[in-house]
Amino acid sequence: MVRAVRMDERRTHGSPGFLAMSMAVILADAVVIVHLLFVAFVVAGGFLLARWPRLAWLHLPAAAWGAFIEFSGGICPLTPLENHLRVIGGGSAYGGDFIERILLPILYPGYLTLPIQQVLGGVVVGVNLVAYALVFRAWRRQTRLRQAQSTRRSSS
């Protein structure tokens, strides 16, 4: 179990405070990676439907959630969770390791305003409309091809 530790508690190897803080930082990094993968799935997951059509049952709610968060100017619940874990880990919400320098600016750019979030929401919707249109077109083409083949078989 991760417990909150005071900032002045010594970080020594083997101490309960050190282990709890280290685990919190690892969990915070994991949350950032999951968050980034979720964002990628929201934006581009529709293109996976050509290969795995049933994925739509996961992708449609994810894309709707992503668009809602962007249009409303809200924040994903993963953001406060990640920040909380970083504070428990003895740091601030943003520090200097690879994940914090490289991945966090992708998820949380400093210039993000409500109008920019709304444009990003439009990008999510637009990209997914294109993806679903392409998948639907491919599905329709395959259906027509199967129908033509079955018609030929039944007529011969």
HEC-encoded secondary structure of 143-155:
HHHHHHHHHHHHH
Summarize pLDDT for 8-20 with one digit per residue, the tens: 444 555 555 677 7
Whether 113 is in a domain gets the answer: yes
Q: Is residue 151 part of a domain?
A: yes
Please check whether residue 60 lies inside any domain of the structure. yes
- Judge whether 78 lies within some domain: yes
CA 74 vs CA 79, 84, 117, 119, 128: distances in Å: 11, 18, 9, 14, 20
- Give residue 3's pLDDT: 46
For residue range 70-112, list pLDDT tens digits in order: 898 888 888 888 888 888 888 766 544 445 556 667 777 787 7
Angle of helix 56-72 versus helix 16-44 axis, rounded to 10 = 100
Q: Is residue 9 part of a domain?
A: no
pLDDT computed for residue 98 by the predictor: 46
pLDDT digits (tens, 9 = 90+) for 127-141: 999 999 999 999 899
Residue, of 35 and 13, whose pLDDT is higher: 35
Return the percentage of the chain with pLDDT > 70, whole number. 79
Q: Is residue 130 in a domain?
A: yes
Q: What is the mean predicted confidence (pLDDT) over 122-130?
A: 93
Please tell me the predicted confidence (pLDDT) of residue 102. Answer: 62
- Domains: count for the chain: 1
Residue 74 within a domain: yes
Domain carrying residue 122: 16-155
Q: Is 1 inside a domain boundary?
A: no
Instruction: Give mean pLDDT, residues 115-119.
Output: 86
